[in-house]
Amino acid sequence: MLALAVSLAGYPLLTDLPLSGEARSRTCGSTLSVGLACDSAGRIERLGLRVAACAVGQASAALFARAAVGSDASHIAATLAEFERWLADEGPLPDWPELAILEPARAYPGRHGAILLPWIAAHDALSKLPARS
């Protein structure tokens, strides 16, 4: 997980990313800001992150960043819902690359909020996309 945290340096939060979202964990106080640029179909093309979280939250953010390009609002929302069910032991691990790395953290409810931060922040950012006609 620590190696994933180091990889976040490859996703700086730049000022030219037009969509922004934020999330804060109520359980641990971790925070995450995301900036997104999307194509005309609403799919993520570029992203940047600012993460102030534990190693688990940082690892989750890195896994998000590695695979988010090409995702749209509905995919992010569905993955977030799957994640919430999985963390509550009510569903399988979401279909997102490499998430099995986070499996040990499921046993620590105090870390669940940090795990969800990137998906919550991205959902927030994507909700600001103008409606397509």
pLDDT tens digits for range 21-71: 999 999 899 999 999 999 999 999 999 999 999 999 999 999 999 999 999
Assigned CATH topology for domain 2-126: Sufe protein. Chain: A (3.90.1010)
Provide the pLDDT confidence category of residue 122 given band limits of 50, 70 and 90: very high
Q: Are 13 and 49 in contact (CB under 8 A)?
A: yes
C-alpha dihedral, 64 to 112 to 12 to 42, nearest 10°: 50
Q: The pTM is what?
A: 0.94
Domain range list for the chain: 2-126
